């Protein structure tokens, strides 16, 4: 993909991700207006992996859209960071589609937020990663590094849940399922991260071999 087109595509990714995040945050604040308050509602908002993954997408897509030649050492321009975020947002879409979408039927503005967070942003970002960034730098060892973020997220969910008895996803609800089942579920999701991560590494190598002059 030509540099100008890649920047424009990154701009679309950024707008969709930020728009969905802002809409979801506004809907949550409205829902919690007479409940826990804005502070605790914000903590609840940030306790969803979906929100964190979409936030990371925005963090890398915005600079990619406005900077044609990012510094080589810029953290959010590194190949491993871009691929790791593709992993996180990709697994977000897979888990939601396979497990969570059957549990509720969002309507109106919530449908728009849900579609943006779980479908549009994952598809757009992964497409941008495939065709709009440089490839050839990834190694299988990167997969283990990418697991640090979901691993830390899991620890946060379990610690916060043990304190406030609230879990962001039903398959992580220790109070309802018990710790053994939750850990089994967590291992299954982490295994999905490994499989998708290895797939991204393989795709990265394949795309690097097909790279032509004039692309990035």
Do residues 124 and 12 make contact, with C-beta atoms less than 8 angstroms apart? yes
* DSSP for residue 76: G
- pLDDT value for 214: 45
Give per-residue pLDDT as tens, 108-154. 999 999 999 999 999 999 999 999 888 999 999 999 999 999 999 99
Which band of pLDDT confidence, cut at 50, 70 and 90, is reported for residue 3?
Answer: confident
Torsion, Cα of 32, 35, 40, 43 (10° steps): -40
- pLDDT value for 34: 58
């Amino acid at each position: 993909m030509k540099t100008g087109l890649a920047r424009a595509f990154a701009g679309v990714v950024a707008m969709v991700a930020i728009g969905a995040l802002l809409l979801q945050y506004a809907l949550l604040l409205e829902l919690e207006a007479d409940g826990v308050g804005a502070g605790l509602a914000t903590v609840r908002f940030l306790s969803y992996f979906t929100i964190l993954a979409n936030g990371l997408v925005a963090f890398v897509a915005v600079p990619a859209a406005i900077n044609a030649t990012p510094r080589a050492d810029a953290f959010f321009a590194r190949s491993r960071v871009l691929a790791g975020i593709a992993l996180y947002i990709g697994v977000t879409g897979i888990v939601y589609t396979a497990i969570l979408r059957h549990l509720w039927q969002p309507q109106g503005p919530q449908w728009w937020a849900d579609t943006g967070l779980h479908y549009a942003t994952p598809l757009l970002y992964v497409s941008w990663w495939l065709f709009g960034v440089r490839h050839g730098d990834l190694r299988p060892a990167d997969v283990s590094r990418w697991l640090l973020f979901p691993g830390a997220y899991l620890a946060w969910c379990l610690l916060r849940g043990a304190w406030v008895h609230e879990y962001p996803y039903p398959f992580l609800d220790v109070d309802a399922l018990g710790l053994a089942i939750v850990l089994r579920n967590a291992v299954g999701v982490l295994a999905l991260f490994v499989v998708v991560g290895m797939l991204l590494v393989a795709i990265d190598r394949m795309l690097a071999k097909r790279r032509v002059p004039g692309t990035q």
